[in-house]
Amino acid sequence: MAIDWNMIFDSYGIKTVTDTDKRKAAYVVNEQQLLAVEAAGVTPIKGEQFQVAVLLGDRDSVNASFYFSTRNPDERTPEPRMGGKFISSWLAPGDNVILGNVGKQLFAAKLPAEEPEAVEVAQAVIRAASRESKEALIERAKLATGRPERKVVERNEFTRSIAVVAGALARAAGACEMPGCRSQLFERDDGTAYLEVHHIVPLAEDGEDTLTNAAGLCPSCHRRLHHGKDRQELRALIKSHINGM
C-alpha cells in the first residue's frame, strides 16, 4: 500500500542525513521539517533538551535540542538545526529521516527502503498519535474516497523450501508450537487447523531455511514474534523448545 503521509501528519518532511550533519553533530532541518517542528510548539533554544518520539528503533524517544545557528549573519540567514542525541547517537549518514507532527506531538523515524517496512512506520505513528489525537485521525480518514490505485511492484523474495514448511506443519500436528499458547485455532475448508510457519531467526537476518529454525504457529503468536515488544524473549523461548524436540 502506498503511503500518503499527508493523511497521517499535519506537517512533515523527509531528508537524508549528510556527513556534515554528523560531523558537526547538528542535523540541519529542511523547510518542510521546520514546519512540523514549529507546529509542534518546539521553542528554538540552543542547549535546551526536549524529547522526540522515535518509531521502530531500539528506543521510543530521543533527546534533542532545536536552535537556529547564527553562522555569519551578514551573509546567510540563520539555519535551523537539531542537536543532542538525536544526531550524536541515533542518526547516521545516509539515514532517511521523516520528521512530522500530529498536533503538538512530534515524531521521527528512519524510513526503510522497502515499502512494507515503511508501512510499519506509518502504523506506529497512528498507534502513538491516536492516544492524544484520535478525533483528528478519524476526520482525516473520512477524506479518503473511491477505489485505490493499482501499481506494479518488483521485489526480491526468498525461495523458501516447501519441505521445511510441510515438515514444520507435520511436527506441529494441528497445535501452535509456542509453549503456553492457548489460542483457539480455526479450521480451513479441508478441516485442518490453520497454522503459519515462522522462521525463528528471520531469513532477513541470515537465518537458515531449516526445520530446526522453523515453527508452526497460530496467527497471534506469529504476529507477536514479529511485532511484540517481548519478541526477543519469545524467540529464545521457541528456539529452546524446538531444539529440545
Terminal C-alpha separation, the chain: 40
Return residue ranges of the chain for CATH 2.40.330.10.
5-141
Query: 84-131 pLDDT, tens per residue?
Result: 999 999 999 999 999 999 888 899 988 887 766 777 778 777 777 776
Query: For the whole model, what pTM was predicted?
Result: 0.63
Distance separating alpha carbons of residues 179 and 182, to the nearest angstrom: 9
Question: CA–CA distance from 208 to each of 121, 159, 171, 211 (Å)?
Answer: 27, 12, 18, 9
Burial of 38 (0-12, 13-18, 19+ CB in 10 A): middle
Q: Which residues pair with 62 in a beta bridge?
A: 52
Burial class (CB in 10 A: 0-12, 13-18, 19+), 55: buried
Domain 5-141 class? Answer: mainly beta
pLDDT in tens, 30-67: 999 999 999 999 999 878 888 888 776 666 788 999 99
C-alpha count within 13 angstroms, C-beta hemisphere, residue 145? 1
Sign of CA dihedral 172, 214, 114, 121: positive
Task: Answer whether residue 71 shows pLDDT above 70.
Answer: no
